Structure 1
């Protein structure tokens, strides 16, 4: 991450610290996700393949359920009391919860803790909101791209680091290390992040409920379309995820190192996404986030469909790498445009709702992916997801040039 000035400005320091924080948080939280079933069977003592499968699915989904419900509330409070305090609330809270997961002795302990974690989570949307509210407009796309690369890098490396640690220190210590990583990220934010937040101005803003806030945001037609981009992107990424090892095996037959190749097929998209996000962020600063979003949606949609027709794993990896390049422009552009179109004083609330759509996409993708694959196969999932992104592009293009029905900067009480 390079900056041209010899003396870093406040927004640049925030960006670097929160990049590192998002990396640690996402690496920490993804360290344990692939090993929940093994943790339940080997350390907690859940017996029977059916019981392990049920508990694993419920525990995995629990975090997304409560996150979907509570993120808009935290967004509302963030607009009232500041983004940094919400970021610290989430960071230190998750550090405690993840550490506690290492002491679980019953499956329901883990379930309750995952529900609590979803309730208090929000480090990523709080970071995005803080970065967006303190970054110069002409640098917004670049900042959003850098921020996205930290999130993706942590998500890619987390399972790899977790796999190494599982073989060396065991599952319980992964939770302790995860808690320590998130605690470290929160400490960095506490001492180094600076926020420009006018509490007196925020106190004078109209106090509206979460649902009233959603209705007010929906008056800006661009925002529902942008939230839908996030929802469909998460669905497209998550729905085939658990089926990819079977698809790799189908393509190659009795392939050696199936786990390695399946992991590579999953990780290559995140790798190219991480590499391209800052570049496309800069492009959006120069040519407009709406243009980058349009071409990224077209590219991602077109790269999803060929995955249904590849003949070998090499072709699948190549297509998924290209898809990741296109997806690198989606979330930074969406975040930049959400910041642009959101009425003043409601930025964190908008990012909170966007985070809820992320959780909803994860939930529906993980649940519906398996159900739909039973009818249309994983090939059908790729085709359906690609078509949905292309249709979403048409909707977004229409809405981005629609005049808002509410004034962005001067909202009535």
Structure 2
């Protein structure tokens, strides 16, 4: 409903509103990029529950601001608050790392991903229904749900990080995107999978940015068909993360599940980009959804490498990388689509070039993951100049594809 609210405020056309929607999206991602490490570091110092409660309350206030906004600049304020508070996904991941044993984390991250996926399916559908009643009603309902979530956290949610396991101090030099990346440098075995996360997130924006345009241009699909197929993508992805990850994890293990998910996702993007008919295009949906097998085990492996008092910073670093992909990805893929349907296209008639590029990015991610999950790496990562820590009966398959290119940084003293 945001584009229609913008039209109401500026008195322009939907095309003019689209420009502002793009600006709002970039602002949201920028705020998330900046504040994910801040929330992660704060949760390491003051606990996960406190940060989650503040974010939930802030999100509720944000939706109220947007529901009442009489002028466009207040929507910008609201969207900035949204980006700041949406960084709480960082803290939710750290919460899981606190309370779930290592061997069960992949399934837990899959369940969390499925919950967010269901929200992305139900939310737009509910917003569209409510928007027919009143253009501002979806924002009021979203505010109410956020405040209900805050109340649940206040009265029910326990703290996951006891004081004795917290970081002893909060430092601004760590609570920023650059400081978050420095954490990855301190744990170089995490660096490889962080690169995989970034490439996966970047590739995903080919879908977000061009799916509607591409299917309209190639197959003549209208909003209804696009809505059905995107709903199918969300449903399949939710089932994969909620059910298949848990079922396959004991037999496949993290490494094989990561590589299997990446390869299947590559197949999905190739079909999306090159399928000559709509039916073949649709076959890419289950393949793309099965690519969701890669994320939860990769997330679990990364959490194995870092102590409890730095889980928030780790998740902040990963969220910042995802937000960075969100800043550059939409423009990259949208412009690539526009180029390859124009008369200046370097390759004649390749409207699916954005999906082909996504497949190539995931192929690169697969090569990195092959090395980053080598079974020969059997120790848990430690800072560069510390001896690795081995846990009895446990292997850590993370390697460092680019670690050798990075200068050593002395580890922080344990707080």
TM-score higher than 0.5: yes
* Pairwise CA distance, 1:290: 2.3
SS at match of 1:394: helix
Shift of 1:389: 0.6
Q: Which moved more, 1:268-277 or 1:182-191?
A: 182-191
- Give the aligned length: 373
Residue 300 of structure 1 and its aligned partner are, at CA, apart by: 0.7
Pairwise CA distance, 1:123: 2.9
CA–CA distance in structure 1, aligned partners of residues 301 and 277 of structure 2: 38
For residues 250-288 of structure 1, what are the alpha-carbon distances to aligned partners after superposition, in whole Å with 9 as ceiling and x for unaligned? 3334x5xx1111122323222111001122144235542
* Contact 1:298/1:393, CA 8 A, preserved across alignment: yes
Gap regions ≥5 residues in structure 1: 1-34
Instruction: Work out whether 1:37 is the aligned partner of 2:3.
Output: yes
CA distances 1:114-168 after superposition (whole Å, capped 9, x unpaired): 112212332322122112210122322221111111011101121111111111x
Provide Cα deviations, 1:353-392, integer angstroms capped at 9, x if missing partner. 1111222222222221111222335411111111111111
Partner of 1:251: 218
Deviation at 1:237, TM superposition (A): 2.2
Match of 2:234 among 270, 273, 277: 270
| Alpha-carbon distance between aligned partners in 2 of 1:371 and 1:222, rounded to the nearest angstrom | 35
TM-score normalized with structure 1 length: 0.83
Separation (CA, whole Å) in 2 of partners of 1:386 and 1:274: 21
Structure with more helix by fraction: 1
1:59-80 deviation line (CA, Å, top 9, x unaligned): 1221111111111111111111
Matched, 1:370 2:328: no
Kept after mapping to 2: 8 A contact 1:265/1:316: no
Return the alpha-carbon distance in structure 2 between the equivalents of residues 205 and 114 of structure 1: 30
1:48-63 correspondence runs (5 A): 48=13, 51-63=16-28
Q: Residue 349 of structure 1 is aligned with which of 298, 301, 313?
A: 313
Alpha-carbon distance in structure 2 between the residues aligned to 1:343 and 1:163: 43
Paired residue secondary structure (1:288): helix
Query: Is the CA contact (8 Å cut-off) linking 2:55 and 2:86 kept in structure 1?
Result: yes
Considering only aligned residues, what root-mean-square deviation do their CA atoms show, in Å?
A: 2.4
Preserved CA contact (<8 Å) 1:222 1:399: yes
What residue is the counterpart of 1:152 in the other structure?
Answer: 117
Q: TM-score, normalised by structure 2?
A: 0.83
- Residue 181 of structure 1 aligns with which residue? 145
Kept in 2: contact 1:234–1:361 (CA 8 A): yes
Contact 2:35 2:87 in 1 (8 A): no
Equivalent in the alignment of 1:130: 95
**1:324 offset after TM fit, Å?**
0.7
Question: Which residue is equivalent to 1:235?
Answer: 202
Q: Bigger shift: 181-190 or 60-69?
A: 181-190
Tell me the equivalent position of 2:370: 397
Deviations 1:326-377 (A, max 9, x none): 22x1221222112112244211111111111222222222221111222335
Q: Is the 8 A contact 1:248 1:261 kept in 2?
A: no
Determine the C-alpha separation between the residues in 2 that align with 1:259 and 1:205.
51
CA distance in 2, matches of 1:139, 1:388: 29
SS in structure 1 at match of 2:309 = coil
Match of 2:182 in 1: 215
CA distance in structure 2 between the partners assigned to 1:170 and 1:80 by the alignment: 43
Aligned match of 1:301: 266
Residues 83-114 of structure 1, C-alpha deviations (whole Å, 9 max, x = no match): 11111111111111112100111111111211
Confirm whether residue 141 of structure 1 aligns to residue 141 of structure 2: no
Partners of 1:81 and 1:381 lie apart in 2 by: 43
* Structure-2 separation of matches of 1:249 and 1:164: 23
Task: Structure 2: state its 5+ residue gaps.
Answer: 342-350, 391-410
- 2:43, 2:312 within 8 Å by CA — same for their partners in 1? yes
Partner of 1:100: 65
The residue matched to 1:345 in structure 2 has which SS?
A: helix
**TM-aligned CA distance change 1:264 to 1:242, over 3 Å:** farther
Distance 1:67 1:342 in 2: 22
More divergent stretch after superposition (361-370 vs 244-253):
244-253
Q: Pick the aligned partner of 2:248 from 270, 275, 283.
A: 283
The reply to whether residue 84 of structure 1 matches residue 84 of structure 2 is: no
For 2:97 and 2:329, how far apart are their aligned partners in 1? 28
Distance 1:104 1:206 in 2: 35
Q: Is the 8 A contact 2:382 2:389 kept in 1?
A: no
CA 1:236–1:88: 2 relative to 1, 3 Å: same
